A = this chain, B = another copy of it.
Amino acid sequence: MSRVPRADRLPLSRERILAAALEVLDADGLEGLTMRRLADTLGVGAMSLYRHVTDRDDLLDLVVEGILAETEIPASTGGWRTDLEAIARAARVGLLRHRGATVLVTTRLGLGRGGLAAVERTLGVLRAAGFDDATAVAANRALGNLVAGAVLYEAAGLGGAQGDDRARRRDQGRALMAALPEDEFPNLRAAAGAMFAVSADAAFDAGLAALLDGFEGLLARGHA
């Protein structure tokens, strides 16, 4: 059944591949995650990977599942609102741990166990709070979409691609902002300061709070 590998080198496995993939991903971004590069990182031939992974696509699924597994959902604290806040924040932080993969995660959600666990928790909190199924589903989706959008935006905004682009894009953004015609984009110009001043955390929390306020109102008015 279970073969024992040569003693001088521990055998390949999906786990080891996943770990190396995350490493490469964080270092070189999604485009840098090639089969050969990954194999090199593992000190292994490129084709060896295919014994444990059917496809590059399969590899990416593995990465997504790994990231989701890595982001743990906090336990309940009692209140539905604080629970949802905690879940959403944890999800955002967790997904931002591997910025190169945000596109993957937001694109391939809903397939494996990892995503389902978060949905299960969220639905559980909502239904326990008294939301009916339809509203709970909508609220869950809205929360997920908000997190997905935020994560994507933040990952891209700081330099979607690789390290160096980061500073470049930010400067580019500022310059572009300053170069906008005042008469055509007055509000952008006026709010530009606030735009760069607001921290990503604060902006996310504000949006999240507003959304939860909204659902709280629904519940209070019995429309849920």
Pairwise interchain contact B137-A185, C-beta atoms closer than 8 A: no
Copies of the chain in the assembly? 2
Least Cβ distance of A145 to chain B in Å? Answer: 3
Chain B contacts for A134, CB-based, 8 A: 194, 197-198
Range of interface residues on A (Cβ < 8 Å): 35 or more
Provided the pairs A103-B107, A106-B152, A211-B214 are in contact, do residues A203 and B141 lie with their beta carbons within 8 angstroms? yes
- The answer, among B137, B148, B184, B213, for a CB contact under 8 Å with A198, is B137
Partner of A153, one of B109, B137, B191: B109
Query: Which residues on the B side are within 8 Å of A208 (C-beta)?
Result: 142
Binary interface encoding of chain A residues 151-183 relative to chain B, with 1 for a CB under 8 A from any of its CBs, else 0: 011001100100000000000010010001000
Please measure, in the bound complex, the distance between the C-alpha atom of A188 and the C-alpha atom of B103, giving whole angstroms. Answer: 25
Q: Which residue of B lies closest to A207 (CB)?
A: B142
Given the interface pairs A137-B203, A207-B138, the reply to whether A107 lies near B152 with Cβ below 8 Å is yes
The reply to whether the CB of A135 lies closer than 8 angstroms to some CB of chain B is yes
CB closest chain-B residue, reference A212: B214
- CB pair A206–B136 under 8 Å, yes or no, is no
Q: Does A215 contact B (CB under 8 A)?
A: yes
The answer to whether A139 and B210 touch across the interface, beta carbons within 8 angstroms, is: yes
Which residues of the other chain, B, contact A24 by a CB distance below 8 angstroms?
none
Using Cβ atoms and an 8 Å threshold, which residues of chain B touch A142? 146, 203, 206-208, 210-211
Known: A210-B142, A213-B214. Contact between A191 and B149, CB under 8 A? no
Please indicate the chain B residues that have their CB under 8 angstroms from the CB of A19 in the complex: none
Which chain B residues lie closer than 8 Å to A103 at the CB level? 103, 107
22 contacts between A and B (CB under 8 A): A107-B156, A109-B153, A111-B176, A116-B180, A120-B185, A123-B191, A124-B186, A124-B187, A134-B194, A134-B197, A137-B195, A137-B203, A139-B206, A142-B146, A145-B146, A148-B149, A148-B152, A149-B149, A152-B152, A209-B214, A210-B213, A210-B217
